[in-house]
Chains A and B, each alone.
Chain A
Amino acid sequence: EAQVTQNPRYLITVTGKKLTVTCSQNMNHEYMSWYRQDPGLGLRQIYYSMNVEVTDKGDVPEGYKVSRKEKRNFPLILESPSPNQTSLYFCASSSQRQDLNTEAFFGQGTRLTVV
């Protein structure tokens, strides 16, 4: 089954304690992205990657890091989380091929609370 898997689904942490949210896809997609969803703001892109070792900032990258060492994985790292990073996070992947590029597949979401 084609899927994007995020872990954990729920996380409560304290300010300043480094954390990583993992994302893995099994569709051999080139593109992967991270979004955050906040009430009244919709989804905003944090970072994206167009292939292994190729990453770029999205609209709201401050306070986040990413890496793309393998094609299937795209972890999101918060080095020093702050309460304003409390949000619902989604990982997405999609194909570079135009004939397959029908949709972005989203993970189930990670609800992060920073206290």
Chain B
Amino acid sequence: AQKVTQAQTEISVVEKEDVTLDCVYETRDTTYYLFWYKQPPSGELVFLIRRNSFDEQNEISGRYSWNFQKSTSSFNFTITASQVVDSAVYFCALGSNFGNEKLTFGTGTRLTIIP
């Protein structure tokens, strides 16, 4: 069975601080996909990144970066120089070896950026 654990339920940081959201996953598949989605207060789900299990390169997109480590089954997400607009619930998700037909989500981390 697949499982995603986001141990941090809520995090609050002061604006401009860096913050890392943790994600640990469990799967028996050799090919799988990992995702991060953002859910702002308006409620929609915003896709941030997809990473397949064969690509362990870290990725940077502006203030966002992701650290994928198969050895520890983790896919952590760092926001550098946080801004109030980053306040949201962030979900990590695990896809099967087919892709996106079935996503297993973590319980989410509520991030609050304090001005």
Closest to B1 in A: A59
Q: Is there contact, CB below 8 Å, between B107 and A40?
A: yes
Q: Is B66 among interface residues, defined by CB-CB distance under 8 A?
A: no
Task: Collect the chain B residues with CB atoms within 8 Å of residue A74's CB.
Answer: none
Q: Is there contact, CB below 8 Å, between B105 and A43?
A: yes
Q: Is there contact, CB below 8 Å, between A104 and B103?
A: yes
Partner of A43, one of B43, B50, B91: B91
Task: Collect the chain A residues with CB atoms within 8 Å of residue B55's CB.
Answer: none
A-B contact pairs, 14 of them (CB 8 A): A40-B9, A43-B105, A45-B103, A58-B102, A92-B103, A96-B99, A103-B50, A103-B100, A104-B47, A104-B100, A104-B103, A106-B44, A109-B43, A109-B45
Closest-CB distance, B31 to chain A (whole angstroms): 10
Number of A residues near B (Cβ < 8 Å) is: 27
SS class of chain A's interface: helix, strand, loop or mixed? Answer: strand
Contact with B along A74-115 (1 / 0, CB 8 A): 000000000000001010101010100111111011010000
SS class of chain B's interface: helix, strand, loop or mixed? Answer: strand
Task: Collect the chain A residues with CB atoms within 8 Å of residue B43's CB.
Answer: 88, 108-109, 111
Contact with B along A49-67 (1 / 0, CB 8 A): 0100000001000000000
Closest-CB distance, A8 to chain B (whole angstroms): 14
Give the interface of A toward B (CB within 8 A). 31, 33, 35, 40-45, 48, 50, 58, 88, 90, 92, 94, 96, 98, 101-106, 108-109, 111
Q: Is there contact, CB below 8 Å, between B99 and A101?
A: yes
Q: How far is the CA of A103 from the CA of B103 in the complex (A)?
A: 10
Task: Collect the chain A residues with CB atoms within 8 Å of residue B50's CB.
Answer: 102-103
Q: How far is the CA of A106 from the CA of B37 in the complex (A)?
A: 10
Closest-CB distance, B74 to chain A (whole angstroms): 17
Q: Is there contact, CB below 8 Å, between B103 and A41?
A: no
Q: How far is the CA of A31 from the CA of B33 in the complex (A)?
A: 16
Task: Collect the chain B residues with CB atoms within 8 Å of residue A90's CB.
Answer: 45
Closest to A58 in B: B102
Q: Is there contact, CB below 8 Å, between B107 and A41?
A: yes
Partner of B47, one of A33, A58, A96, A103: A103
